[in-house]
Structure 1
Amino acid sequence: MLGTSVPELVFIRVCVFLLQYSIPLCVITIALLRVAFAQNCGVPLILTKVFAGLLVLDLSYAVLLYRPFKSRLRASANHPQSLTLEERSELFERCLASISDPERYLQLWFLGAGPQEIKRENVKDFILWAFFDRKSVEKTVEGDVESCEDELESYVVQTEEMLGRPLPPGRGTAVPLRLTFDVVDTRYRSVVWYAIVSLVDGATHCMLLWHGFQLRVPSWRTALGVFPWRPELLIRSVPGYKQVWKDKSPSDKLSYWYRPHISKTTLPVVFIHGIGIGLYPYTTLLAEIPKETGVIALEILWISMRLYAKPLTRDDFLHQVRLIVSYHGWDRFVLVSHSYGSVLTTHILRSPMLARKVSSVVLVDPVSICLHLPDVAYNFTRRPPHHANEWMLWYFASMDPGTALSLGRHFFWKENLIWKEELVALPSDAEMVVRKIEAAGERSETRNRGVTASSERQDNRRNVAIVLSGRDLIVNTMSVARYLLCEGDLGSSMHHEDEAAHHFTRGSMTRNCVTKDGIELLWFPKLDHSQVFDTATDRSQVIAIIERYCSSR
């Protein structure tokens, strides 16, 4: 992640300009080169041919791949099954209880609109999206219109009570952020960028192979459904007869890197990366995990700056993970994830068949905690970029076509949000919650969306460590830290707990503590999102936690 200096800003703005406007720039360059060549200015003809070839490649990509893929962004999201009235009510009340700044909460969900423009009908539009997955009351599927209107009105009244003031009647000019309803915005990028992605992917392959990892790939049909294609998969070996992969992936939809588990005294690791350029930023971290400890590093290609056929649904992803860990005979493992990977961690921890296998959890820069707050959605998808790090995030992540599709049409906050009680809940507790849900008539194994897994056995909880960065440009880490440090929810925290959270997060020194819920919290005050992996000093603290959890069988 870049910083905020002026040279970095100039650099990233130039890169964005060249990649976004590559086609007109090629046309202009070819025209200038032809003029210079005609006037015998000593310009070699080969330059004209190079830019002409680049123009042909860019136009071919734009017509054959980019435009058809972009048409998918206009499709409607296929929302999960709606919550019941009881589930909605419980989730709504829990969310309200975990809001420390109601005015900021409302304004940011309405993209910074003034309070006078956020009126009752505007708030109803937001609540309909957030809790009903609907655009209007008439389109709700359960109950009659009158009962839905009554329920909606009760939520508006509770919102007014939270604000401590009545909302103006009628409809104002404010427009809410409704991620799965809004138009999905994206920006063009030259085929040169995808060539860079391929080069980085090749470098990732070489580094992981060097450190003893094996690539497990799914079917060829799945591999060919990803652009840019991976030329290293076209060969079965590299010099020295070192195999690129030992075996085909047991999953037909997920590729992953695998290092065998040798140790008899420690647990293996399952790693899930975040949005970015794949596993490249994590290669050093993975290599520094002790050699005797087995590792499965999943490749989540639909958020890896690629054009992917279709992001996996929650249930399909869980099925593929079960196939992989069962194939290798891993009954228990330590789950480590970064950023968006925490969303997939939520799904795993709510799956009875997988949750019981998770001995410990390490979340680095998690986005799934306090996901009901607007910061993650706003900062990633709506914030106008100003600094270099914001421009980098905006163009290379937020406006990436594959990532934009995943977030705009396949990201459902209610099933991605996780509460701190769920993180530490024992497998038996998770099964208890599922039994309650199944008794209510739910058949899906991951139906528990926003329902708290209340732990009755306090003496033997799952190990959980959360790593936060004080200057995170995506996550409101101060609010997340306060939520983790307080007893209960944010809205009910005592003054002395707020003071303790403030004391913990202030200053320039790295701090760590154990919260009242038994969660180990590691705070890096000077780091931005993802920067904890950049230096050996910071990275070693994360490695130390992973090693300790692997040793806690």
Structure 2
Amino acid sequence: MAVDIAEHPPLRRSRSWGFYSVLFLAVIPLWSSVPLAWIFAVYSIYTYKWPTYSVFNRALFFVSCCEVVFCIYHVYLARQVSRPAPYGPGDPEEIQVAYIRLLKAGLANLPSDGGDLETLLTKRPGSPAETIVQLERHDPRAIEFRHTLRTWFGKVPFSTIKLHHIRKWLYWAMYNAEIPPPKHLPESHRIAVDDALALLQKRIGCKLEEGVDEEVKPMLLTIDKTNILWRPLTFYSVVCLINWMLKLWHTNYLSVEHGHSNGIEYLLRMPRYWNPETSPRPIVFLHGLGLGLLQYHRLITSLMKEYPDRPILVPLQPQISQDIFHPHFLKPLSRHQMADALAGLLRDLGWVNLEVDVQDSANEDTVSKDEFEVENSLVESPQRGVTMLSHSNGSYTHAWMLKGYPDLISRSCFVDPVTFCSWEGDVCYNFFYRPCMTAMELLMRYFVGTELGVANLLQRHFCWASNSLWFEEIPNARDAHKTFFLLGGKDDIIHSERVKLYLTSHGIRKNLWYDPEGRHGQALLPGSPGLNELFKWLSEDEA
């Protein structure tokens, strides 16, 4: 009989010395600068001593007053972000398809290495062709599913999760809202939740018990209270100034164009003698959460120096780059807006040829949404497409492009992708809900996870169905020349072992690079083995 790992309590962890080092040397000094600015400004004004201050103290007084005003503005923005999600339920059909696909994950009993070569000849091993049947409680597939599902409930023993908790979680996943009392629940919603619950109970191999355990709370990412911690104006200003200077450096010394197109801000390096028919494909780099150019400057510079013969496009994303002064800081593009805008930009650059103008919405009145998206994805011949490279949160945009415009992407590289296995809840739990115990976890939580723009994007504009990418949605996923995956075994955000298992069980072999000791982002560090492998793969592109 299989061991029921779903009943094992989460491992107890103790805080490391690194945690306290980061807490006292970085987090507390930065966090406390705001209340200290309040104290100094109020004291100076109340005692009216500021006219007698020296030049240095007057400058300090001015900065403190600016911090006070900015703090009030930051609190206002945080309250705006903390409101309910600005969008309602997603596309019901898309959510239903994604939910059914979620339940079928792992049902095929695929070998962890993907099986023999004959098995790999099938187009989609373990595809949605699987049937959801009633599993026995001790079926290893049911145990594993219960074990991954409980992540959405704080990794408590599965037996403590009751019917009420699952209904709340299902209703949020389907309708992006808190489930109302039974007497206020629309009949159509009740039927939909009951149907989803019936399928889920088949998948977990048991019936859920009635009752309520107040200690168990499901993670309802987009409706849970946001956790936003202030940062001083000085911090945002320094980040903004450095990124502005880096943009100037790129445009003045690397022949890079800084432009805007349909809501996308970007950096573009276009070689003078590049030929769209004979030269290597353009590279599109989608960066992740953090500090924008300040964080990815060395990688972008390395790409431009390593590949001077091909265009390189870097869409800049102020919403996840702590660029609070940007007019679109709290206005992220939706999945379809971003995919359409990026596809349109690729067309305007002459890298692809769309038969239908992605900007032209007139056809939407006479053509269905699905037909419109299909028409937009058609391309003229010859079509070579681009090489798309994404890191971390950038893999969500990468997924949107593969879902909406797969023909525009000839080669795909995913580094520390958060889009795979995101339905299992590890990324959500690790980033927002897990208690911080290590230096890296605290750095990630304070400097990224609790930042205003990041919280707005991920806690109020997140759509799990759109952001989840499945194996069968990746063109030529097993072709080592066209698709490449890089993972780190000690990633603090994604459950890299689960992602690795998901990929290898579907036949990913030669095009998966896995570093057992690698951490999130380490594969992109200059001189790292991961970056060497990435450059080697990019160099394989042929005209």
Tell me, yes or no, if structure 1 residue 350 matches structure 2 residue 403.
Answer: yes
Which position in structure 2 is the counterpart of 1:156?
197
Which position in structure 2 is the counterpart of 1:522?
513
Distance of 2:521 and 2:189 partners within structure 1: 42
* Matched AA of 2:463: F
Which position in structure 1 is the counterpart of 2:411?
360
- How far did residue 152 of structure 1 move? 2.8
| Native 8 Å contact 2:390 2:413 kept in 1 | yes
Which position in structure 2 is the counterpart of 1:492?
none
| Native 8 Å contact 1:208 1:283 kept in 2 | no
Residue aligned with 2:291, SS: coil
Tell me, yes or no, if structure 1 residue 93 matches structure 2 residue 146.
Answer: no
* Matched AA of 1:466: F
Which position in structure 2 is the counterpart of 1:120?
163
Which position in structure 1 is the counterpart of 2:84?
75
Which of 218, 242, 267 aligns to 1:176? It is 218
Structure-2 change in CA distance of 1:178 and 1:16 (3 Å): same
Distance of 1:130 and 1:462 partners within structure 2: 36
Distance of 1:386 and 1:116 partners within structure 2: 26
| Native 8 Å contact 1:273 1:279 kept in 2 | no
Residue aligned with 1:276, SS: coil
- How far did residue 159 of structure 1 move? 3.4
Tell me, yes or no, if structure 1 residue 484 matches structure 2 residue 503.
Answer: yes
Which position in structure 2 is the counterpart of 1:318?
339
Residue aligned with 1:335, SS: strand
Distance of 1:333 and 1:161 partners within structure 2: 42
Residue aligned with 2:92, SS: coil
- How far did residue 96 of structure 1 move? 6.5
Which of 310, 314, 323 aligns to 1:306? It is 323
Residue aligned with 1:350, SS: helix
- How far did residue 305 of structure 1 move? 1.2
Tell me, yes or no, if structure 1 residue 196 matches structure 2 residue 205.
Answer: no
Structure-2 change in CA distance of 1:74 and 1:147 (3 Å): closer
- How far did residue 277 of structure 1 move? 0.5
**Count of residue pairs the alignment pairs up:** 448
- Pick 1 or 2: higher relative contact order, CA cutoff 8 A, min separation 6: 2
| Native 8 Å contact 1:77 1:181 kept in 2 | no
Output aligned runs, 1:365-380, within 5 Å: 365-380=416-431
- How far did residue 63 of structure 1 move? 2.2
Deviations 1:102-159 (A, max 9, x none): 3432332112334343101111111111234343378999xx9556545433433443
Distance of 2:403 and 2:481 partners within structure 1: 14
Residue aligned with 1:356, SS: helix
- How far did residue 216 of structure 1 move? 2.5
* Matched AA of 2:21: V
Structure-2 change in CA distance of 1:213 and 1:387 (3 Å): farther
- How far did residue 517 of structure 1 move? 4.8
Distance of 1:20 and 1:85 partners within structure 2: 40
Which of 279, 282, 287 aligns to 2:293? It is 279
Distance of 1:108 and 1:169 partners within structure 2: 20
Tell me, yes or no, if structure 1 residue 536 matches structure 2 residue 527.
Answer: yes
Of 97-106 and 477-486, the range deviating more from structure 2: 97-106
Question: What TM-score results when the alignment is normalised by the length of structure 1?
Answer: 0.73
Which of 342, 350, 354 aligns to 1:329? It is 350
- How far did residue 84 of structure 1 move? 6.4
Structure-2 change in CA distance of 1:75 and 1:84 (3 Å): closer
Structure-2 change in CA distance of 1:180 and 1:95 (3 Å): farther
Of 180-189 and 257-266, the range deviating more from structure 2: 257-266
Structure-2 change in CA distance of 1:20 and 1:85 (3 Å): closer
Residue aligned with 1:77, SS: coil
Identity across matched positions, percent: 21
Question: What TM-score results when the alignment is normalised by the length of structure 2?
Answer: 0.74
Which position in structure 2 is the counterpart of 1:407?
458
* Matched AA of 1:123: I
Of 171-180 and 102-111, the range deviating more from structure 2: 102-111
Which position in structure 1 is the counterpart of 2:147?
104
- How far did residue 30 of structure 1 move? 7.1
Residue aligned with 1:216, SS: strand
Output aligned runs, 1:398-477, within 5 Å: 398-424=449-475, 463-477=482-496
Distance of 2:463 and 2:388 partners within structure 1: 22
| Native 8 Å contact 2:281 2:386 kept in 1 | yes
Residue aligned with 1:166, SS: coil
Which of 54, 68, 71 aligns to 1:62? It is 71
TM-align CA RMSD: 3.4
Which position in structure 1 is the counterpart of 2:208?
167
Residue aligned with 1:359, SS: strand
- How far did residue 46 of structure 1 move? 4.1
- How far did residue 52 of structure 1 move? 1.7
- How far did residue 547 of structure 1 move? 1.9
Distance of 1:462 and 1:148 partners within structure 2: 46
Distance of 1:186 and 1:295 partners within structure 2: 35
Residue aligned with 2:396, SS: helix
Of 417-426 and 334-343, the range deviating more from structure 2: 417-426
| Native 8 Å contact 1:96 1:162 kept in 2 | no
Which position in structure 2 is the counterpart of 1:17?
28
- How far did residue 302 of structure 1 move? 0.7
| Native 8 Å contact 2:289 2:454 kept in 1 | yes
* Matched AA of 2:423: H
Structure-2 change in CA distance of 1:26 and 1:136 (3 Å): closer
Any stretches of 5+ residues in structure 2 without a counterpart?
1-14, 109-140, 353-384
Deviations 1:236-286 (A, max 9, x none): xxxxxxxxxxxxx3x141111111044433111011100011133322322
| Native 8 Å contact 2:416 2:520 kept in 1 | yes
Distance of 1:411 and 1:148 partners within structure 2: 21
Tell me, yes or no, if structure 1 residue 129 matches structure 2 residue 180.
Answer: no
Which position in structure 2 is the counterpart of 1:235?
none
Distance of 1:31 and 1:149 partners within structure 2: 55
Which position in structure 2 is the counterpart of 1:494?
none
Distance of 1:338 and 1:68 partners within structure 2: 28
